A and B are shown apart, each in its own frame.
Chain A
Amino acid sequence: MLAGYADDELTAVEREAVAAHLEACGRCRQLVLDQQRLQHVLESYTPPPVPEERWEAMGKRLRAELQGTGLRAVLKTRPRIEALEPERTEPPAGAEDPTPLPAAWLAAPGAAAARPGAAARPRAGAAGLAWARRPRFGWMAHVAGAVAAGFLLLVGLLVYRGPDEARPEPRALALQKDVEIMEVQMVDPGYTVVLMVGDATDVAAIWVVPTETN
């Protein structure tokens, strides 16, 4: 908070609270002064000037990059920005990338090898490529889908009792079981939540029923 106070970055309420504290705390007042003094020093701390010709050379390089007329730059760094590149594993060198990427994201040939720390990977043969590109988790997806469908079917069978079987009406059930019921209007006025409350504060059952219209 003291840094925020020194930099005038607090809300009005926060500033008032800190100001009240500073009236009584000499140590914190000194800390605020130190923060402001350091900030002043840093604001006057400027890097060495850059000759205009350096900027012009950099500008030419960027124009060439934008127009695609120059060699694509081999970069030393790789900023971790999701907006630039999605997370993906790099395929072995020479392997055909099955996932097409926008042209702007494709590095120049050899650029990956030129990145610091990037070790050259052995080329994979045709069989190795096919094996590497196999759909590893396809069968699991099918099994998961089948299990989910079976579960939904089971739930549906349990819930659906057929048109002939009468479902106990919650209010009638409440009278039978001698429990209290509470009705809470839902956000959707078409439905009402009916809570059946048993002993103490436990909720015995919750029903959502269409709101009775009078």
Chain B
Amino acid sequence: MGEAESKARGVDEAAQRDAELVARARTGDTRALDELFGRHRQAAYTVAYRLLGNAEDALDAVQEAFIHAMRGLPGFRGQSSFRTWFYRIVTHAALDYRRWRSLRAAGSLDAEGAPEPAATGPRRRSPPEEAAAADLREAIDKALANVSEKNRAALVLFALEGMSYQEVADVLGISIGTVMSRIFNARQRLRGLLASEIG
């Protein structure tokens, strides 16, 4: 079996497992919920982090995404896979969080009742062995912040291992051609911004 076929089979099995867990979680099965959470939390965090550039904000957005998903499970019709549906929620939650954060920073919102802002101060120093990785991460964070939201979302989703152009298209509700174009433009923009980092 070729690599592509093996990958496709893995995706199908994962989707089937997700569907079983969703059906059980709908009945209030907390163990099914725990497993769904465990299966998708890291990928959700990675997507949110790449969109927000801040770990605390990313965790907030992930929590909100999971809560939205829990509340929306009764309305989930299974027309797309759980993964596609959930990543759509995560993407929108992260982008909405980003806008909310920008508005709050601009003082447009009534602060009464608003939750405390996530820590956005200087990053704590990493252990020496992670210094180089942390520097690159910071450079990429800054560069990604200068990529348009639409292009960034497409690129971030694709950069997750296993997400194809078709899946990205399904999550964002756009055509594959548009996915291709946005990813190309995002990487070209990053290429210019990270020239000194990657050579």
Chain A residues near B (Cβ < 8 Å): 1-4, 7, 9, 31, 34-35, 37-39, 41-43, 45-48, 50, 54-55, 58-59, 61-63, 65-67, 73-81, 83-85, 102, 104-105, 113-114, 116-117, 119
Contacts and interface: CB of A to CB of B under 8 A. Distances in A.
Lowest 7 A-B CB distances belong to which pairs?
A: A84-B72, A47-B49, A79-B92, A3-B184, A77-B96, A38-B187, A42-B159
Given A43-B161, A75-B68, 11 more contacts: A2-B184, A4-B165, A42-B190, A45-B136, A47-B46, A50-B59, A73-B64, A76-B60, A102-B74, A104-B72, A114-B113
Given A61-B63, A104-B74, A45 B137 contact: yes
Contacts of A45: 50, 136-137, 140, 159
Contact of B64 (A37, A46, A77, A113): A77
Given A47-B46, A58-B66, A79-B93, A7 B104 contact: no
B180 interface: yes
12 contacts: A7-B158, A9-B164, A55-B41, A76-B64, A76-B97, A77-B64, A77-B92, A80-B92, A81-B88, A83-B85, A85-B75, A102-B74
Interface of B: 25, 28, 30, 33-34, 37, 41-42, 45-46, 49-50, 55, 58-68, 70-77, 85, 88-89, 92-93, 96-97, 100, 103-104, 108-110, 113-115, 133, 136-137, 140, 155, 158-159, 161, 164-165, 176, 180-181, 183-184, 187-188, 190-191, 194, 197-198
A83 B187 contact: no
Given A38-B198, A41-B140, A105 B71 contact: yes
Given A58-B66, A83-B77, A116-B114, A67 B30 contact: yes
Nearest to A113: B113
B45 A50 contact: yes
Contacts of A81: 68, 72, 85, 88-89, 92
A46 B109 CA distance: 32
Contacts of A75: 64, 67-68
Nearest to B66: A62
Most buried by B among A46, A50, A59, A62: A62
Given A73-B67, A81-B88, A3 B187 contact: yes
Nearest to B89: A79
Nearest to B189: A38
Most buried by B among A7, A54, A83: A83
Contact of A42 (B63, B65, B88, B155): B155
Contacts of B46: 46-47
B198 A41 contact: yes
